[in-house]
Every structure is written in structure tokens, then in C-alpha cells.
Structure 1
């Protein structure tokens, strides 16, 4: 070895020593609390054991992937989002060198300000004072995000860049409104995914948990992640915590009628007398019906039975290959068939109806068909839970109805039906923070167990949809908004014109609903021609509907004046505390107060009543 080589080697050693000292000094300054908790050399064997466990879990998963075909990834084509991100970059000010220079200058100013507050910056220090962070976000409310300079710097920089990215979308000139909304959504999805809370090394709570448990949280978290990858769906609640008919969907009743598309459940009365006009509920055909029968305390079905109503509910069958050719006509015919069976079974001239969400949309079309045929007297009233007929302001779901998305739906619909997990992933993306990243942090990174929550169990109980009908629904209603154009659509050979509907209607919307925005729901009042009562409930798409009076939660607003818009309605509305259910039952009783004895076929499953099976039936259990 030459002298020059010796000198060079010595120089390298000095540089490494200096770098090690600098790194240690930086670590101590930026992460003082974490530095004290780092494992000592004697604990390295335990950490190596954790690494081996993680490796073994991953290798086992990879072997299972090769041996068996795991469910497909239920998320959109990543190439599409990468392409959109690339277009966004080139169209946005982010590609402008002047804007890049401004972003860099803003970042340096933020870093200098924060470091000075922690007493380690190059300028005048402010150590000893509680840091004054310029941006707040509930994801970073934990004191751990501000107690150490590194984590404060990371999350404040993230929030600043997020603001810049969102502002860029609004500043792009010449962009069509629908394209701008798509870019807003894609930007929000990207921002939420890149939150420092979602990564173990930049989340102080995860790092602290990892050090405390010596990595056991990461082992549990990887087990949760791999389990979800195997089933092709994010888990939201404790597996096995709920069983249909045992601790959810437990209101007593019988399946009294069945077709290849639906089962009809009638519930057992609990009052001696019942209203003569029965109630028939059409739940969403994209979800399981028992959202209205989760448990006895918050079951709308049970409550309605206790109010003296004879209650029927349709339980839609999850689609399979045999249902590939179903269209809107089939669902409208199914609703008419269910109405006729209830009328015939109880020998009554008409029924009260409820349509929830997309089933409410279909119910409106059914009413229009019956009105055109002069058979609408069969419906005593129609109640709409968060249902839309005018999709001009339909919210974020409109982002998924362009030609590219519709083509993707077609590609994903193997065997003629769309796997419900794709729909679940779509709805989860609309509330990514609550329904995706919250679980990534808690269950994948922190290694926590899942909560036992019946609503989350229902949310994960996906339903397959007939591909042809689903595509037509997105194209004709969400994209082209044809339902509100008289005679633009038809069903079972009958043109649909909503303005022919004169049936009394009770229209409920949720003030915070992101799936069926209140402005969109309110627009139904522009198209129907019968007496209407519009009610704006507190909360959103689920909690705004499933809000039993005993819970004493939220509120609702009533405005008896004729209003041209939701804003005008809100401006003159009177707020009422609690649930809107009592207001609804008073409205129902006012339409027909006559009662009859709860006997004969009012009690399903009697000696002379041959029923198919007990509630909740078998269709709700099909996957």
C-alpha cells in the first residue's frame, strides 16, 4: 500500500468519524426523546428475531400467491393515476421554475422559523417557549408531533406542500370543470396517501410503539396487512365478531316471498293493532338491507314495528353470473312485484314505500312508470332516504363516470357482474382518511386489534352488482342525467316522466352527506308534483338516516315554505333536536290513521301461512 493510499484512507476515516459525530449530534437535537429510547447492543438479538418473523410472514405470503390465485386488487388502475399525475404536473404551476423557486423559498423559511423556535436554528432562537406551529390538522393533534423538532418539521412541511398542491389545481387556466374536479380528487388522494402519519419512521406514535414493543407491533401489523391482501379487502372490524341473525339483523320475521332477484321479509308485529296500510322498504341494491336492522337499539325496522306498522323489506340477492343481463327494467319490475305481493297478501289497496339511496332513485322511476299506467294509487306514499334523481350536483361519485372509468368497470366485471370489493374501495377512497389511512396507521403500523363495531361490519359486507345494470346506471343517470328528462328513459316498455308523480313524498337528506349531497337530494322537489315534505337531517349518509330517537343525537331542520334551493331552505328552516323519525311517523299516520287487528297474515308464519324461512333469510348471506 502506498503512502498516498494510506493518507487517503486516513482522510476517509476522519470524514466518517466526523459524519458519525454530526449525525449523532443532529439526531440528539432533532429527536431528543427518541434518541434516549434507541435499543442498546444487548437488545439486538430481539430485534433480529423480529426481522426474521417479518421475513417469514412475507415469504409465506409469496408462496401462497404462487400456489393460489389471490383476489384481484380492488383499486383503480395505477397507470391511470400516474398518467393523471403526470398531466397535472405539466399543466400546473409546479412545472414553472419560478413557482419551484417560490416553493423552495417557502420551505426554507418554514424550516428556519421552526428550528429557531426549538433553539437549534441558524437565526435568533426562541427556545424555552411552546412552539407556535403555523398549520393545524387533526391527524397531527397528538403532542408527539410537536415535542420533537424533527416530527414538527416533517408534518408542517407536509401540510405546506399539501396547501400548495391544492392551490395549484385551482390556478390551472382553461381546465374544464369536470376535469378540474377529477384533478382535485386525484390530488387529495395523493396528499392523503403521502401523509407522514402513514409511515413508521415519520410517525412518532408508531416509532414510540415500535421501540416499546421491540417491533411486535410491526409483526402484528404485517399479519393484518397480509390477511387483507389475501381477501382483497380492507378489514374494518374484528373478524367473527358478528353473525347475521344472532347479533345483527335480529328483528323477528319471516321470508314470505322469493324470486331469483330478491327475498321479501315480513316482520312480526309487537302491537295488538297496526296501521291498515303496510310499509314496504327498498334498501340499496349495492348494500345489505340490515343497515336498517343493525341491532335492537338502532334498528329502524324494529322501531317502525313498535310504532304499529306492518313492515316488509326487500333483501336483494348479491349478483352472480346468472344475473349478467339484468337491467334497470328488472329492478323496477321487482319493486312492482314486491308491491303487488304485499297488497295481495294483506288484501290492501296500497302500501307505504321507502327507497334508500339508489333504491330511492329506482323507486322514483317505479312511481313514474305506475303513474304513466294510471296505477299509482297502489302507492300511498313514498319516502326517500338520501336518494337522488337529478345528478347534476351528485358529488364526488361523478368523478368515476367518464369514458375511461366506465371502460374500467367493464374490464373489471368478469362473468357479468362487478365484485362488490371494487365498490367498497371506491367508497373508501371518498373518505380516505377515515376509512383507509386511519386503519393503515392503527392496524398495520400500530399493530392494534380491530374494533367490534356493527356498522363497520355492515360496511365491509360487500354486494356484487350486475355489470350491465351498473354500467347503465352510471352512464344514463350519473353521467348523462337522463332520469330528469321526461321520456328520455323507459322501463318495461313504459316511458319515465318524473313530473307525472303525484304520490305524497317525504324526502330526507343528510347535511354532511358526501355520497348524496343535500343540494342534489333537494333537487327532487323540482321534479315531483305531489305534496312533499323535505327534511334535512344532521350528519351524513348513514348516521343521518340511522338515528333512533332514544339516542338523542344530532338534529333536523324543517321549512314549510316553498323553497327554490337548498340554501333558501336552510335560511328559513327551524332546527329541531334529535331524530327526525318521530316527524316521519306523524306524517305517515296523517296519511292514513286507520288501524286493524294484528292477526292472520299480519303475523307471518302462522299455522295457515306457509313461509320460506326465518329472517334474515338466505339471500343476505350469499357472497
Structure 2
């Protein structure tokens, strides 16, 4: 039966989703039942766990955990609390792994849920059991807790009003997204911004950047010092960037085909109308997935307008999506579809909750300690300001994306349809430059690496340190940056991800410089800058980014 916003089941699931952060209770329950039934039917595993509990209870081995690294944790009774917690953590790790018969995904789900629960009850999270907080409280006479209570009330009120904390120091168009440019195209889904070249000569092939539709584009034009857009412009490239509209209830019926047609295809057509026969196409995160789909469709149809393809932290194979995949199954998708039916879109906070759980210690509990117990507000910075500027996703598109890519893995299997016909990544003949990041919790690098297996063209694969955003924002002069790079020619034998890692040593510096050289090698002879004949619609950063 088709779910509607008036259906009782839909309304009930939507209300329940507000309490669970959009996570399906049925999906969790199914995983727990599977694990529990196999555990009670495994006396040998039970004996092992009992023995482990007795051993861990008497063990005082020091373990490395960043939550307990302060010297104050070495004093009694805090050292006992920390060691007891770590022993319990080890026990649950053993209990939820290596249990024969359990569905592997269910086992990972139970393991993940157990870690979330343990992270929540860590003694570091409570003032009475955290010696660092107690020392701070004594030295400040409790003022830290007073400030923390004030911060908690601020955040609680924002939660009730669904208004995220906004930066007062960093605003779009002033401190953020400041590279000069013009909006040269606008439709109901995207604006396209053109950035003015700063060199006397430019390469004939411009660069089109397709960001993910779940983020504001200016992550790639963050500040004057951390702007990939400005860097490419200064390397002699004309740069175009898509800025996605933040969808509302009226956009509920936008489909993946609309994102292809109104987004990437419309942008390519406009760039060609401006006199460029070919272009370099770049996609970031889900924007890279979308670009790969369009590239496969262009190749299927015999269109060679893409001089090269660059994919940044973008997956094309979702068979191993990492822990984010634990949130995606039939039960979870159906639950989300009911939630989206009441609004016509998925709210940004419902989506952000899943990403925060992937790094709960860093993104949730460390902030609880710092903000509410130590009374320290995280200073404003550009990346935090961008992260708080979240976007929504239209119901139909998000459902199609989850079902076609995450659940069915249609793109990797050659079943994803564009214009009613399937596309295949193996049809792509443009050279590919693929970047992955070492600690990416959204697009694990081993999953991103599978582009080398699924395509029959030259692939340059780069692995840089950092996470999903920080690794991509790896501007020159950024301290502590390194990257590995390798090249696979068409026809070369496939190398597994672990073997690739072992055979490629890291290089110091930014991958931006390596990429720039690669782009130039795939470009034509530099030409004189030509005046643009397109009348700007607005100045950058445009209108959609402000929604």
C-alpha cells in the first residue's frame, strides 16, 4: 500500500522518528534478536565471555584511550573507574564479534550500538566521575558548571526551535565564500557560478565542480586561504561550481533524473554554449557519485565532452560503505520514507544525527564534556560555521538514492538507469583522478578505491591523510599533510586496497599541487583570456547558498 502523509502508519512512524533521530527501532530490534538467539545457543561463546569477564576484572593493564590520558586519571579511584570501563568495553567487543551464524550486518549493527551505549556511559562524561572536571570545578569555584548550564540551555532552546548554532564571526560573502565570481545560470534546482581567471593565459578546458547536494558548495571556497576554487583559478583554469537549491516541501517530487538533467547536464550544456567544447569535470562526495553516473551516460551515448573526470571522496560502489551502511536497510529506508512523507524532504538534523554517531566521541561526548562540564565553548572557525549550515533533501530523490545505490548497488552492477536505459562505469574512457582520505567515516577509502576495479580506463588514485572534509581541504602550506599516489593504466591487473597501500609510500605536502599538474597534462595549450559574453544573473555566492 502506498504511504501518504495522511496514513496512520506514516504519521506514527514520523512521530516515532522524532524520538529516535530517524533510526528505525525495528531495524535495531531485528539485529539484536539475531545476535541474542545465536548467543544463547552458543555455550562455548558464553564460557569464553565468562572467562574474559573474570580475567578483565582482575586486570589492571594500562590501555591507551584519549578520554583517560590526563594524569588526573592515574589517581585512585578514577584509575579503577577507567580500567573497569575499558574492561567492559573489551567484553562487549568480544560479545558482539566472532559469533557464528549471525548475519554479518546484524553483528556489526549490534557492535555499533553497544559502542554507542558504552560511549554514553563513560565515566569521562559525568562531573562526579571525571577528575579533570572536578579539578576545574574546585579551581573555579563551580563557575565552569554555571557556564556549562548556560550553554546547555542555549543549545536546548535551539533544539526546540530547530535553529542550529550560527557563527557570528563567519558569514557567507564576507569571511566565507569570498572568491569573486558571477552566477551565470539558474534553474529551479541549481545556480552555476563562474569564477574569473587571474592569469594572462588559461587552459581551454574549464573545470566544472559538482558538490554533494547534502552540503553547501562553499566548503570548496571556505576562506581566502582555504579555497580550492581560488587555487584552481590561480593555476590558469576557468572554474564553474554548482550551488544546489535547499529543497522545501514544493520540491518533494524531484528525482535523481532531475538532479542529472537540471544539475550536471544543464551545467555542461551552458558551459558548451559559452564556447567550450570540452571540460574537466570534478565531483565531491555524492556530487562525485552523480558525476560518475552522468559520465557513464555520456560515454554510453558517444559524447566525449569530458576531457577528464576527478572524484573527491566519492563512492561508486556501495557494497562496503562502512558504518554508515548500518543505517541503510529495507526497514530503515521504509521508516525514512514515512518521515519524509510528512514534510516532502528529509530535515538536515535528521541526516546529521547519523553522521555524528559515526564519530560520537569526537562529535558528541567530547563536546558535552568541553561545553557543559568544563564550560568551554568551541571557538568559532570557518569549518564549524559551514558544518552548521546544513541542507535538506527532497523525499523522492533521497528514496531513489538510498534504494538504487545503497540497497541495490545498481551503479556498480550496471543497472542504474538514465533516460530509461542502464549505464555502465566500464564505458567511461576519460582519464580519472580519484582522491580518498585515510580516516573518512562517510566514504571509506577502501570503498572509494573500487573505482579502479569498476572502470576500464586510466585511473590515478590518491590517498591523503585527514577525514572526509579535512583531507579534501588540504591546501599548500597546510602543516602535516601527506598523500600517496599511484596510477593504473587501462588493461593493468587489479591491485587490492591493502596491497596498494603497502606498495605506495607517502609524499609530504598537498595533493592539490599533484592534481593541478595532472589537470594541466590533460589540458590543451593555454590560450589568451577571452571576455565573457554572458550577462551575470548575480554576483557570487548567489542566492541559493543563502537559503
Common fold: TM-score over 0.5: yes
Shift of 1:550: 2.0
**Equivalent residue in structure 1 for 2:176, among 245, 248, 253:** 248
Higher relative contact order (CA 8 A, sep 6+): 2
Q: How many angstroms apart in 2 are the aligned matches of 1:108 and 1:546?
A: 45
Is residue 109 of structure 1 aligned with residue 34 of structure 2? no
Q: How many angstroms apart in 2 are the aligned matches of 1:81 and 1:206?
A: 37
Superposed, which structure 2 residues align to 1:124-143 within 5 Å? 133-143=61-71
Q: How many angstroms apart in 2 are the aligned matches of 1:459 and 1:134?
A: 36
Q: Equivalent residue for 1:392?
A: 319
Is residue 198 of structure 1 aligned with residue 125 of structure 2? yes
Superposed, which structure 2 residues align to 1:509-548 within 5 Å? 509-548=436-475
Q: How many angstroms apart in 2 are the aligned matches of 1:236 and 1:222?
A: 18
1:518-553 Cα offsets, whole Å, 9 max, x none, are 221111112222222111222221222110122243
Q: Which has the larger radius of gyration?
A: 1
**Are the aligned partners of 1:228 and 1:235 in contact in 2 as well (CA < 8 Å)?**
no
Q: How many angstroms apart in 2 are the aligned matches of 1:284 and 1:587?
A: 23
Q: How many angstroms apart in 2 are the aligned matches of 1:534 and 1:449?
A: 39
Q: How many angstroms apart in 1 are the aligned matches of 2:526 and 2:49?
A: 73
**Equivalent residue in structure 2 for 1:307, among 221, 225, 235:** 235
Q: How many angstroms apart in 2 are the aligned matches of 1:578 and 1:385?
A: 17
Q: Equivalent residue for 2:497?
A: 566
- Counterpart of 1:435 in 2: which secondary structure? helix
Is residue 555 of structure 1 aligned with residue 501 of structure 2? no
**Equivalent residue in structure 2 for 1:357, among 285, 289, 298:** 285
Q: How many angstroms apart in 1 are the aligned matches of 2:292 and 2:24?
A: 37
**Equivalent residue in structure 1 for 2:21, among 68, 75, 98:** 75
Q: Equivalent residue for 1:321?
A: 249
**Are the aligned partners of 1:316 and 1:619 in contact in 2 as well (CA < 8 Å)?**
yes
Q: How many angstroms apart in 2 are the aligned matches of 1:459 and 1:497?
A: 34
Shift of 1:109: 2.5
Distance 1:143 1:81, change over 3 A: farther
Superposed, which structure 2 residues align to 1:89-488 within 5 Å? 91-92=38-39, 102=51, 105-106=54-55, 108-110=57-59, 133-147=61-75, 149-232=76-159, 239-333=167-261, 334-345=263-274, 347-375=275-303, 377-413=304-340, 414-486=342-414, 488=415
Higher helix content, 1 or 2: 1
Distance 1:524 1:85, change over 3 A: closer
TM-score by length of 1: 0.79
- Counterpart of 1:269 in 2: which secondary structure? coil
Q: How many angstroms apart in 2 are the aligned matches of 1:372 and 1:404?
A: 34
Q: How many angstroms apart in 1 are the aligned matches of 2:338 and 2:286?
A: 23
Q: How many angstroms apart in 2 are the aligned matches of 1:468 and 1:135?
A: 47
**Are the aligned partners of 1:238 and 1:452 in contact in 2 as well (CA < 8 Å)?**
no
Q: How many angstroms apart in 1 are the aligned matches of 2:57 and 2:89?
A: 16
Q: How many angstroms apart in 2 are the aligned matches of 1:390 and 1:77?
A: 23
- Counterpart of 1:484 in 2: which secondary structure? coil
- Counterpart of 1:260 in 2: which secondary structure? coil
Is residue 590 of structure 1 aligned with residue 494 of structure 2? no
**Are the aligned partners of 2:307 and 2:430 in contact in 1 as well (CA < 8 Å)?**
yes
- Counterpart of 2:372 in 1: which secondary structure? helix
Q: Which ranges in structure 2 are unaligned for 5 or more consecutive residues?
A: 1-14
1:460-517 Cα offsets, whole Å, 9 max, x none, are 211100122112211211121111222x221223321211111111111112222211
Q: How many angstroms apart in 2 are the aligned matches of 1:95 and 1:460?
A: 46
Q: How many angstroms apart in 1 are the aligned matches of 2:153 and 2:375?
A: 13
Q: How many angstroms apart in 1 are the aligned matches of 2:481 and 2:186?
A: 37
Question: How many equivalent residue pairs?
Answer: 522
Q: Which moved more, 1:225-234 or 1:451-460?
A: 225-234
TM-score by length of 2: 0.89
Q: How many angstroms apart in 2 are the aligned matches of 1:207 and 1:92?
A: 40
Q: Equivalent residue for 1:610?
A: 535
Q: How many angstroms apart in 2 are the aligned matches of 1:169 and 1:85?
A: 11
**Are the aligned partners of 2:31 and 2:106 in contact in 1 as well (CA < 8 Å)?**
no
Shift of 1:254: 1.1
Q: How many angstroms apart in 2 are the aligned matches of 1:206 and 1:329?
A: 53
Shift of 1:256: 1.1
- Counterpart of 1:280 in 2: which secondary structure? strand
Shift of 1:99: 6.7
Q: How many angstroms apart in 1 are the aligned matches of 2:505 and 2:395?
A: 43
Q: CA RMSD in A?
A: 2.6
Q: How many angstroms apart in 1 are the aligned matches of 2:128 and 2:24?
A: 25
Q: Equivalent residue for 1:124?
A: none
**Are the aligned partners of 1:235 and 1:460 in contact in 2 as well (CA < 8 Å)?**
no
**Are the aligned partners of 1:74 and 1:232 in contact in 2 as well (CA < 8 Å)?**
no
**Are the aligned partners of 2:212 and 2:285 in contact in 1 as well (CA < 8 Å)?**
yes
Q: Which ranges in structure 1 are unaligned for 5 or more consecutive residues?
A: 1-68, 115-132, 602-607
Q: Equivalent residue for 2:530?
A: 599
Q: How many angstroms apart in 2 are the aligned matches of 1:184 and 1:260?
A: 43
Q: Equivalent residue for 1:578?
A: 509
Q: How many angstroms apart in 2 are the aligned matches of 1:265 and 1:256?
A: 6
Q: How many angstroms apart in 1 are the aligned matches of 2:332 and 2:56?
A: 37
**Are the aligned partners of 1:257 and 1:263 in contact in 2 as well (CA < 8 Å)?**
yes
- Counterpart of 2:326 in 1: which secondary structure? helix
Q: Equivalent residue for 1:118?
A: none
**Equivalent residue in structure 2 for 1:500, among 411, 417, 427:** 427
- Counterpart of 1:600 in 2: which secondary structure? coil
Distance 1:152 1:238, change over 3 A: farther
- Counterpart of 2:506 in 1: which secondary structure? strand
